[in-house]
Structure 1
Amino acid sequence: MSNLTSVLSDLLVAVPQLRPQVYFKASLTALSHAMEDQVLASTSDQPLLIASFQRERFYRQEAHRYKRLARQTNQVYVLAAPETDFTNASEYYETIAFDPTESLSQEWHLVAIGQNYSTCLICRERPSIVQIKPSPHLPAVDMDPTRQFEGIWTSERQISCIAAELLLQRILHYRPELAPKIELARDRFGIFPQRRSSAKKSKTAAPITLPSLDPAAIDTNPFVQRLVTYLQAGQYKLLKAYRSIAAQERKERLINSITAAIRKGSATGLPLHPQEILKVAVRELGIALAACRCLIYRAQANDDRVAIAHEYLQPGVSSVVGKVMPLQKNPLFQEMTCQQGSICIVDTQTDTRVTDSPLLQQLVKQLDIRSWLLMPVLYQGKLLGIVESHYCGSQPHQWTADETSLVEAIATQVGAALIQAEAYANLEDLNQQLEALDRTRSNLIAITGHELRTPLSTIQVCLESLATEPDMPLELRQVMLSTALADSERMRKLVQDFLTLSNLESGRVEWHPETLLLDECVELALSRIRIRSNPDDLPQIVSTIPVQLPPIRVDGDWLVELIAKLLDNACKFTPPTGQIAIAARTNGGTTLEVTVSDTGRGIEPNRLEIVFDRFYQEEGALRRTAGGTGLGLAICRQIVNSWNGKIWAESAGKDKGSTFHFTIPTVE
């Protein structure tokens, strides 16, 4: 079981006369090296050295020094919380791996006791003053020099022995087999073990009874004290520099976070999202200001009210997401719009702009706002939005120039980002529309030219032959007439598909929903396919529609047309030796999901969406092996959209078949 008490606390209980001081890490490093050098330089026989390194990574930096120290004495003990391969061992010296939850993981200890000298350093780490939040967009700033400790450093032998005993007890807790070796060190240097009558029952070290100490004996070498003071003063100046760097880094990090959100969208080739920009900005700003509540919302000068969508909250602060904020009747909004500048209210209880407005008084009461900052988001003088920061509670917050400058910089960056994102999105929409129109134009010319010209040429040849060859045999005349009729039917279907899609897209179709059974519609569609096609050219079609499915509510004629077109599409790309399957199942209780699967040519994964585009041809318009206009699946999508359903395609890839899904509403 780990000991959760502090060695420093136990030492201060044992020796109440001691007064801990504050040390920077650089000072402790210098003191530790000086103490180790004293051991290396001494001629004392077998001195005692105990070092506690908090974590293994700190120990690894000094391991080479302790190998040298182990040549001077076999009484070297090193404690650390393991992180990789640090374990209990007795190779060069004794290593003790303590539990990471142990209080030692927060402390820094070094005790050196020889025949003619003794020093001890017993310290506990304090929370860092300079704290910079980690950012995924910037490298971490090394704040290690600002680490602070509180504790005791002294060369008084009696205190060093007490500190050594406290650490030896921790060592025995983790490595009881070292008891004989530790007893030798106690006897050699006069270290008295603690009485353990109640220690085993408690996690706290029992008090050590000592004779009263002479306060003058606690004083250390004045030269060393002056050296430590010098180090402390230099470290304090460094800390002030780090505070300044941290403030500047905070501002740059916020701007870079928003910039990174913009670049993330443009780097992936996707449209930028203004809402994502606002979300990132409000979070980073709230963290930087440590405000109780931060808001960023879109607003224009003539807006009457606005709904809040993005906020940052401290724990225990009420949320305003989804609430409507009044603008035109808000005197602060009017003042900010006219001045196009920030508004800082230190205390809402005394500011006349708030106390003279019943609306603002009510708002302050509802949101518990004590200090209020409003900053407009502008771009070329146009209001795009507002940034708000609230401090809640009983004490007002004094807004500093650095804070307002930071918020203003973020508001400026957000304004530019919003304009850029909107322009990028509009440009993307226009590009997509132009690309779609260009594809439609090209496909329309190619497909219409092919699908109309080919049958028209055949019809013309057949009719000319019949007109110019009156003595043509009857059998050949019949062939000519059959060919002309077949190609005229092909042209009729082409024109019909054009008209059908045009009517569906323009909304000129009158829908007549009715209650139907799905299996009946499937049978009608299958009958239509079998009548139109030669049975020998069709693959095997299997229908597995459960009879217990609930009735559906759609226009029956259009549902049959939808199923027939999906079956026709599957037959077109599936060889006669393949198979087509029709299945259905309930989907969430309010819809049915119907699937038409085939074992045919399949669809490339990157084309699963565009197969529903008008005039899309998988092989290209000029090198197709299957006929058609490329309008069938576009018509299917328009039919499914008419009852607010969904239609999509799935395929494992080329020559691996494909499956088309669509949903139908059931009768409620």
Structure 2
Amino acid sequence: MSISTSVLSDLLQSIPYLRPQLYFKASLTALSHAMEDQVLAATLEQPLVIASFQRERYYRQEAHRYQRLAQRSNQIYVLSAPETDFTNSSEYYEKIAFEFEDALSQEWHLVVIAENYATCLVCRESLGSITKNKQLPELTPSLDMDTSRRFEGIWTSERGVSLKAAELLLDRIVIYRPSLVNKVKQARLRFGIGETRSYSQTDQMAEFACDIDTDPFVQRLVTYLQASQYKLHKAYRSITAQARKERLVNSISTAIRRSLDPHEVLQIAAQELGQHLGASRCLIYRAQATDVQAIIEHEFLNPGVLSICGQTWDLDQNPLFQEVVKQSEGVCVADTLTDSRVTSSKALSLIAKKFAIRSWLIEPVLFQGRLLGIVELHYCSLPPHEWQPGELDLVEAIATQMGAALIQAEAYANLEELNQQLEALDRTRSNLIAITGHELRTPLSTIQVCLESLASEPDMPLELQQVMLSTALSDSERMRKLVQDFLTLSNLESGRVEWHPESLTLQECVDLALSRLRTRSAADKPPKIKTQISQNLPLVRADGDWLVEVLAKLIDNACKFTPQKGEISIKATRNGNQMVEVTVADTGRGIEPNRLEIVFDRFYQEEGALRRTTGGTGLGLAICRQIVNGWGGEIWAESTGKDQGSQFHFTIPVVENSQEKSRGQVVTEPSQSEVQSKRQKSGGRRKMP
């Protein structure tokens, strides 16, 4: 059985002058508790109390109060829509269960009728609040705390209105529980419920004027107002703290958007965070989980506080840092004089004493679990700083913003590097097209002309035929070397080269490199070449074929840019670092100081690809760099400027001395002169390509 008519609607229809008001859930709770307190404060009264709850869950929160009310009167009626174990019963008071479809499930009723006073609360939940309520999970314990639920209805102490509300509710009770007819009849007769009355406002005001103790009711409402004021004050403080946090986060975010320089972003963060939290000192520095030291890069200081900026912070001996790394969250020290983590560490105790740190906060700057840096807040004044949850949340939020800023700056730096690499690749592509076009097209054209002449002119003089063949062969060799250089550099850069290191005499390798110089015509005679290699120079360890290749290319490069009247020298010295330093110097064209690094780039040509006066592809020095790096050496160029000559240096590892401790003798590796002498006696060194 369910009744679709609303008690509030029936009441408003019966008493036309009533005007419903809007109430929030918190207000209705305070009013209903005040009305119940009025009943509990009475000593002799046995009033009629009728309470209707929308759901059993709301009733259960007030059940203990109605057990106390039952000790004051035997006329207590409680109505509710059952959800678990709420049923019709008469244990402490009368329980009346109604169905969910009943209009009572959307209303809230509390009626109190006594001999000398009466009051009632009859409300209906608004449609918008009902819709919101249905969206909440069923049986949610925190549902009663939803103070945003809105009701419309009547709250009054007019006796006539209260008697009418009691009459409407008692009619419902008799319908749901017919067995209570006699008990309800007694209540009607005792309090005059259902008698015909003329409900004018004047009569109601006269009935309202009665001598009752309203202090319990007033105390309850005052308590509610005080509690509301405290909650409002707390809410204002929370809003202020949140606004401050948002302003700080926004300032950091603005700095991030304004600049991609991580140093600028971190310095702004240190200043803003230190000022907003009133810290004596705020430090921000870059650090990773495996770092043993960090340099303090950014700092905020209050006047009179000792600066730490620029100093080195030991991390491996810092238990607080290790705890941050292990837990991936901040560490807070309320008082460094009593915290066991500080007092048990000699290093931390010295730091706290030296820099007057009394309260200490260390917050990690993380991005996807990766440690990027650390934020430290120091409070140096007395008493020790009391950390508030909002402050810790604020520092964590700023650290999160800084993590994003550092990753963004890092990504931008990587992007810049990639752009530079792409530009270099584009230049390489352009140079490759220009150089290969020139170096391939020119000899191909010459070869084609020579062959066509030989094929079309059978009567050509023998001497001219020999010139044509010699020219074609020379240009074909030029093309072969070009292709070979491409393949060599490709293999070296891709790591497909197999190294075969061995003990070598440098003088023999230089001699082989000189013998590989191409035969030059009289007009193309190379400049004078001198070698200065000590006979006592230790053996070097490298792949002999590749070492000869480096020497040959450096000598060939010197010949290209040195006039016939110039001079080329080849020197080798021990540089005291388990390496032999080889220098190929010339008195030729020289190199501008700003180009000393890029001369080793692929396809580099000082004069440009299409207007240079010397041949070549610009791959020789790039090949030399790859080879020298392959055996762990270094290569570099020196020059004082144009027409001042140039020097190319590279290093080769020295063969380590082997020692034998058998029979108390020490055997060392032979010198270059000894090895060379033995090889001459045994027929010389193996042939090198």
Give the TM-score taking structure 2 as reference length: 0.48
Superposition TM-score, scaled by structure 1 size: 0.49
